[in-house]
Amino acid sequence: MMLEMLPLETALEVLVGRAKILHKEVVELLSAHGRVLAQDIFAPINQPPFDRSPLDGYALRGADIAAAAPGVPARLRVTENVPAGYLARGRVETGTAMRIMTGAPIPAGADTVVRVEDTREKDGWVEVFVSLAPGSNIVRTGEDIRQGEMVLKGGRLLNAPEIGVLAALGIPRVEVFKRPRVAILSTGDELVALERELTPGKIYNSNLYALAASVLEAGGEPVPLGSVADRPEEIARKISEGLGKSDLVLTTGGASVGEHDRIREAMTCSGADLLFWKIKMKPGTPVVAGEASGKLILGLSGNPAAALISFEVLVRPLIRKMAGFDKLYRPRLTVKLLEDFRKQGKQRRFLRARVGVVDGELCARLSSAQSPGVLKSLLSTNSLLDVTGGRGPLSKGEQVEAILTGDLIGPGRS
């Protein structure tokens, strides 16, 4: 039985619960950047792999400089020079020191390193003007990462620091999840491809691009299917094509109240079972969800902003689940509203806003136009304010919950 008018969270449960995590593949370390790690990584070696000096100075025995002070230096004979990458030939014995560089291994017999700024070297002898506790200035083997320790957990996005840690451990290849392929189809008689001339009554097919870009940002691989006219048989044919080429199919248009039967009919016609229709949220109420041969099909509103907002709250978590991410959702913050929002509604709303810090406090200013067809206001949006259904008009100064969808920036002027 098809569910109707669901809370967003229920719709997410239905979709995320059915999502299949895709296969894994092994890739070269640099190609793993921006991918999701599919294995837990245990350190094969210690980092650092040996006791080393964190600075340029002298390796010595702490006991030899116990009485040193600015006016009364300890005098030690310099026996060797130890650059990074080389082992000392001999040992540090009582009364001697070795010149040591940052990153060089601590020579046997030494237990302390004194920085060069606290010394003066002349004719093979060094004067040390400080006393340090034995053990000072030595980075111990495994201090950063201990051999056998789990350093990275599967499900994590690999950015520069993760790639750096893997490289430091000498791991040249890692297992990552395959990116889910997401077919995107726009429906509507009015749609024109970007390469074509815009004739009267027509508009460019912007949803295809906006959703394809959103798929990339969510960690998927877009498979654009162009646009089709509002004819169920044609839409069904394209949906079937999409099912053959991808792991998830998205359509836009033809899902709104007057037109809903068209996209539902097309889904049924392509052999899909309908899972639900409509979600309790604005914009983006008219969502149709279906499933065919174990793959999900989602029909979103054609309204450009509604399509992107539905994508954000409904489709993005689904794609992230399929992509193997451990975290599916954006961070939520409580913010102070900097202006009134008078419009009241029974339905839960996602308002476009700009969140930033003003006088040390997280504040939100509404992006100008909130209507579902207006795309431009998304340009000045970094958050969606999640306003519960039935809540009265919002006043300046009220606390609201925000989903952070972009970078935190100054809220600026509306």
Kindly report the number of other CB atoms within 10 A of residue 392's CB atom: 8
Exactly one of 301, 377, 381, 405 binds ligand AMP (CB under 6 A); that residue is 301
Does 283 participate in binding ligand AMP (rule CB under 6 A)? no
CB 219 within 8 A of CB 326: no
Closest CA to 25 of 14, 39, 8: 39
CB of 302 to ligand AMP, least distance (A): 3
Binding track, positions 106-135, relative to ligand AMP; x by CB under 6 A: ------------------------------
Per-residue burial over 119-149, b if 16 or more Cβ lie within 10 Å, else e, is: beeeeeebebbbbbeeeebbbebbeebeeee
Report which residue's Cβ sits closest to ligand AMP: 302
Residue numbers at the binding site for Mg ion (CB under 5 A): 188, 253, 302
Query: With contact defined as beta carbons under 8 Å apart, do 343 and 282 qualify?
Result: no
CB 74 within 8 A of CB 181: no
Residue window 200-219: x/- pattern of binding to ligand AMP, with contact defined by CB under 6 A:
---x-xxxx-----------
- Binding mask 257-276 toward ligand AMP (x if CB under 6 A, else -) reads --x-----------------
- The partner in contact with residue 255, picked from ligand AMP, Mg ion, none with C-beta cut-offs of 5 to 8 angstroms by kind, is ligand AMP
CB of 200 to Mg ion, least distance (A): 17
Q: Residue 269: exposed, middle, or buried by beta-carbon count in 10 A (0-12, 13-18, 19+)?
A: middle
Residue closer to Mg ion by CB (options 188, 222) is 188
Binding of ligand AMP at residue 339 (CB under 6 A)?
A: no
Question: How far apart are the C-alpha atoms of 272 and 270, rounded to whole Å?
Answer: 6
| Tokens standing for residue 261 | 């039967």
Restricted to residues 343-402, the positions that interact with ligand AMP (CB under 6 A) are 373
Spatial distance between the Cα atoms of 183 and 225, rounded to a whole number of angstroms? 7
Q: Which does residue 206 bind out of Mg ion, ligand AMP, none, counting CB within 5 to 8 angstroms by kind?
A: ligand AMP
Shortest separation between residue 263's beta carbon and Mg ion, angstroms: 9
Interaction partner, residue 290 (ligand AMP, Mg ion, none; CB < 5-8 Å by kind): none
- Tell me which DSSP letter residue 178 carries: P
CB of 254 to Mg ion, least distance (A): 5
Selected binder of ligand AMP within 48, 107, 188, 232 (CB under 6 A): 188
51, 144, 190, 241: which one contacts ligand AMP (CB under 6 A)?
190
Pick between residue 242 and residue 254 the one whose CB is nearest to ligand AMP: 254
Q: Residue 357 carries which side chain, given as an amino acid letter? A: V
Least CB distance from residue 3 to ligand AMP, whole Å? Answer: 21
Nearer to ligand AMP, 142 or 372 (CB): 372
User: Are 80 and 90 contacting, i.e. CB atoms less than 8 angstroms apart?
Assistant: yes
> How big is the CA angle at 196 (ends 195 and 199), to the nearest 5 degrees?
150
Torsion of CA 32, 35, 36, 37, to 10 degrees: 0
What are the residues binding ligand AMP (CB under 6 A)?
Answer: 186, 188, 190-191, 203, 205-208, 252-256, 259, 301-304, 373
